[in-house]
Amino acid sequence: MAKSVKLLLTENVDNLGIVGDVVNVRVGYARNFLLPRNLATEPNQELLAQLAEKRKQAEKELAELRSQREVLIKKIDGIELTLTRSCNDLGHLYGSVTQQDISAALTELGYPVQPREVRLAHTIKRVDTYDVLVKFDSDLEAWVKLWVVADRQLETEREEMEFDNEGNLIEKPKREKKSAGKAEQPAAAE
């Protein structure tokens, strides 16, 4: 049984080709995705001639989209984003920052970026600064500086715990907090 089949695309398919391309795809992909959605059919010369005008239009649209993306890349490159997130006192986020979050923030600023175009090298789960890649095509990419900040002031001073040789916690005497205001007057002697 053949592992792949040649098909003629009748519509543009992301990461595969545009109208009029004859592509070689796996049988399962053809049977389960392309053929049921009428995105492809068996190639023949008559159909190729019919799709020639549609192909010219698709190539024109792709060229226009590429020029828009080139302008967008120049605008985005080096931009700084700040996202505020909830976290614990150590700076660990309660939820991670995702591609969708970054895409939504860029879109809100007027830069239409799809989540799949945001490339994260690793999961963002801490308050910190990150460099994020926005990649439209193999040669169209920009770097965005992402600042993930806490939604509140983090406590930086932590009390250290001490243990004895058997592993029991040693109680430290508690420091008295100084009250802000007038010192208490001692009671008058009678």
User: pLDDT tens digit string along 67-82?
Assistant: 988 898 888 988 999 9
Report the phi/psi class of residue 22: left, alpha or beta, with left for phi > 0 and alpha for psi in -120 to 50. beta
Is 93 in the same domain as 39?
no
Predicted model pTM:
0.65
CA–CA separation, 24 vs 29, rounded Å? 10
Q: Is residue 164 part of a domain?
A: no
Residue numbers of the domain that contains 81? 73-150
The SS3 call for residue 112 is coil
Q: Is residue 14 part of a domain?
A: yes
Task: Give 11-69 pLDDT, tens digit per residue.
Answer: 888 888 888 888 999 999 999 999 999 999 998 888 888 888 888 888 899 899 889 88
Q: Residue 136 is part of a domain; what is its CATH number?
A: 3.10.430.100
Task: State residue 181's pLDDT score.
Answer: 47
Is 88 in the same domain as 41?
no
Q: Residue 29 is part of a domain; what is its CATH number?
A: 3.40.5.10
Report the domain count for the chain: 2
Of the pLDDT bands very low, low, confident and very high (cuts 50, 70, 90), residue 156 is low
Is 36 in the same domain as 81?
no
CA–CA separation, 117 vs 21, rounded Å? 24
Tell me which residue has tokens 């591609």.
99
